[in-house]
Amino acid sequence: MLSSLFRYALWFFRSKKAVITGGRCIEIGGGYKKVSVVMLGIIIAVTLLLTLTEPNGWLVVAGIAAFSVMMALVFVIRNTLKRRAASRSVIIGVTILSIVILSLILTRVIPRVADWGKQAGWFGQSRAKTYTTTINNVKQTWEYYSDPLPLTLEDLQAADKELYSYEWTSSESLLLARYSGRQVALPGYEYDLYYSIAAVKWPPLFDLCLKDYLNMHDKLSRYPLIAPSSSKKKFLKTDDPVWQADSVYQLYDDKVGAKDDYVLCWGNRIVYVDFQEIPTSEQIAVASEKLRR
């Protein structure tokens, strides 16, 4: 559609110029088709580039490629029947049947590949392991991960490394990269740690992303059934020098005061970190060193 509009605009202005000088509207030649092909190629290339910058973008491209192969097979089957002078009803029937069969195959294969890829760690995560507990004679199985994390509870306090799941996820585009680290205690144990890191590649987006982080509790308050709370929470700027950050925001509750959630800015990086308790100066120094890199 864009290429058609471009062709029309090009034809319009050239024809207008020709008419003003006493000529006639120009004829549309093969050059416009070449322009359309070039523009289509550019659009496809840009779309592929944007898609492949996402960690799961290859899966989208693979899905499109699989669909294209399926349609190509349908056309091959139909054209083969035409060359063999099959009747119109036979061509239509076989074509519909081939579409149905290939569609069923496609819808079964892609989810299986995606699930296998998730288990194999293709989507920014390592392969999940399982942990089984028995509570009141009932066995429960939990998934846990062993991804390397830039900051762990062991860096901040004494903790048993065997009792936690370490999960790292990432997503990236041309404008923004986002990462999250989650250390979760396996059932029966306490303490966990969560942080999210946004690397803003396009400066005009920085303030918008920061505002989104700072207003996260305002959004949750709109859904009291999801996050019921009788108090109001808000991030306030403190600029605590111990963090050695460009900006420091700490979460405050209007009933209990300071909380253990922080939003921090280092250059183009915005970091949200949720501790289990307000960190000491020594813990802040360690967290700052680990998260700002």
Mapped onto helix, strand or coil, the DSSP state of residue 237 is strand
More confident residue, 106 or 245: 245
Residues 101 and 159 in one domain: no
Query: At residue 223, does pLDDT exceed 70?
Result: no
Asked if the structure places residue 137 within a domain, the reply is no
More confident residue, 162 or 182: 182
pLDDT of residue 112: 75
| Count of domains forming the chain | 2
* Residues 260 and 277 sit within 8 Å (Cβ to Cβ): yes
Q: What is the dihedral of CA 62, 65, 69, 74, to 10 degrees?
A: 110
At 174-202, the pLDDT tens digits run 788 899 999 988 765 556 899 999 999 99
Residues 25 and 62 in one domain: yes
Q: How far is CA 1 from the centre of its chain?
A: 28
Residues 176 and 236 in one domain: yes
Residues 281 and 184 in one domain: yes
pLDDT of residue 145: 83
Residues 64 and 192 in one domain: no
Residues 93 and 171 in one domain: no
Asked if the structure places residue 25 within a domain, the reply is yes
Residues 116 and 233 in one domain: no
More confident residue, 101 or 34: 101
Residues 157 and 58 in one domain: no
Query: At residue 109, does pLDDT exceed 70?
Result: yes
Q: CA 229 to CA 223: how far, in whole Å? A: 10
**Domain-terminating residue out of 120, 135, 162:** 120
Asked if the structure places residue 184 within a domain, the reply is yes
Q: Is 62 exposed, middle or buried (0-12, 13-18, 19+ CB in 10 A)?
A: middle
Mapped onto helix, strand or coil, the DSSP state of residue 95 is helix
Query: At residue 219, does pLDDT exceed 70?
Result: no
Strands ordered across the beta sheet of 257-266: 164-172, 176-185, 192-200, 269-274, 257-266, 247-253, 233-237
Mean pLDDT to the nearest integer, 263-274: 96
Whole-prediction pTM: 0.62
Q: CA 18 to CA 8: how far, in whole Å? A: 15
Residues 72 and 25 in one domain: yes
* Cross-strand pairs, 130: 143
Q: CA 183 to CA 191: how far, in whole Å? A: 9
> How sure is the predictor about 102, in pLDDT bands with cuts at 50, 70 and 90?
confident
Mapped onto helix, strand or coil, the DSSP state of residue 169 is strand
Residues 107 and 159 in one domain: no
Asked if the structure places residue 135 within a domain, the reply is no
Mean pLDDT to the nearest integer, 24-39: 64
**Domain-terminating residue out of 101, 120, 139:** 120
Residues 219 and 274 in one domain: yes
Which residues, other chains included, contact 166 with Cβ-Cβ below 8 Å and sequence gap of 6+? Answer: 145, 146, 147, 148, 149, 152, 181, 182, 183
Residues 20 and 92 in one domain: yes
Mean pLDDT to the nearest integer, 278-282: 94
> How sure is the predictor about 138, in pLDDT bands with cuts at 50, 70 and 90?
confident
In terms of residue numbers, what domain contains 106?
Answer: 2-120
